[in-house]
Amino acid sequence: MDPLVIVFGLGVGILIGMTGIGGGSLMTPLLILFAGIHPTVAIGTDLAYGAVTKTVGGWRHLRKGTVDLGVSKWLAFGSVPGSVAGVIVLEVWLKHSPEILLTGVAVALLVVAVSMLFRALFLRAAVDRERESVFLTQAVKIRAVGLGAVLGFLLGLTSVGSGALIGLALILVFRLTPHRVVGTDVFHAAIVLWAAGLAQLVAGNIDFGLMANILVGSLPGVLIGSALIDKVPAVVLRPALGCVLLGSALGVLTKAGVDLPTWTIVGVPCIVGAAAALIHRVRPNAPAAPASSPTEVAPA
């Protein structure tokens, strides 16, 4: 048993339960930087443990009613085959040099983190347009499948995206409320991670001993996080999602070989979060958002 890896699992599990983010974007760099795990094995093991962890979290969120099953289903139609394709490309062509791709993903995450924080703190009209569920028109279904395929491919290739990128799509494209973003993200991630994890198992990139250590911490962590989500107001959860995404970006940069001090992965998001809390404290309270229209809700 490795106490350090168990602590990593606990912390990341709590983040997954509360925000849907933290699996590949944080765990894989932590395993590489602090546990000395080979990147390919870290990616494969991360996908495998994430499948188990997010299955537990997804079940909890499903019971809480924070999952949009329609969006999850149509995303999975694209993300499942996309993730398997990503594992194949990693194994055949990029097994030893994924740095360029990881750098591109990290830059995108940084841009997205800043955009999410700006939106949460300053664009109140955008917050007012958030909705509890999505009306599934043909165009929405096609968009979901296409997004799922692209993000699933990145997930299979790098282990990044099951929370950070797909959660972003749920916010910016489908405009779900923060709690529905987390629930839908975790539930969908459980599906796509099983597909990617099984592909990594076939490729022989999973360390089951390491996976067991992570699960000792992550399983209780995700239960704690999902239990806390109803106790965290949406006005707090929105900037928190942005801060966690910022930490994900810094973690991916270190994974890509950029020389960053290790404290920045946690320290910078904490500093930004403190600044966001200060902005929220000094600004006037926003008017209550109008209730969602019944026409926004549709069956899967």
pLDDT in tens, 216-266: 998 898 888 878 877 777 667 778 878 887 887 888 787 778 888 888 888
Query: pLDDT at residue 24 above 80?
Result: no
Total count of domains within the chain: 1
Distance, CA of 255 to chain centre: 17
* 167: Cβ contacts below 8 Å, ≥ 6 apart: 19, 20, 21, 181, 182, 185, 241, 245
pLDDT above 70 as % of the chain: 87
Q: Is the pTM of this model over 0.85?
A: no
Residue 171 belongs to a domain: yes
Backbone angles phi, psi at 287, to 5 degrees: -65, 150
Beta bridge partners of 53: none
Q: Is 290 in a helix, a strand, or coil?
A: coil
Mean pLDDT of the chain: 82
Domain housing 46? 3-101+129-230
Give the count of beta carbons closer than 10 Å to the beta carbon of residue 280.
16
Tokens found for residue 1: 């048993």
Residue 206 belongs to a domain: yes
* 268: Cβ contacts below 8 Å, ≥ 6 apart: 246, 247, 250
Beta bridge partners of 176: 131
Query: What pLDDT band is residue 276 in, cutting at 50, 70 and 90?
Result: confident
Host H or E run for residue 219: helix 208-228
Residue 138 belongs to a domain: yes
pLDDT at res. 288: 46
Residue 263 belongs to a domain: no
Residue 195 belongs to a domain: yes
Instruction: Compare 192 and 24 and report the one with higher pLDDT.
Output: 192
Q: Cα(206)–Cα(203) distance, rounded to whole angstroms?
A: 8
Sign of CA dihedral 17, 21, 24, 27: negative
Residues 165-192: tens digit of each pLDDT = 787 788 888 988 878 888 898 899 999 9
- Selection from 161, 160, 166, 159 nearest residue 183 by Cα: 166
Residue 273 belongs to a domain: no
For the residues 114-121, what does the mean pLDDT come to? 76
pLDDT at res. 299: 45
Residue 12 belongs to a domain: yes
Q: Cα(154)–Cα(271) distance, rounded to whole angstroms?
A: 29
Residue 294 belongs to a domain: no
pLDDT at res. 234: 63
Radius of gyration of the chain (CA): 18
Q: Cα(136)–Cα(126) distance, rounded to whole angstroms?
A: 20
pLDDT at res. 297: 43
pLDDT at res. 296: 42
CB-side neighbour CA atoms (13 Å) of 19: 27
Residues 51-86: tens digit of each pLDDT = 998 898 899 889 989 899 999 999 999 999 999 999
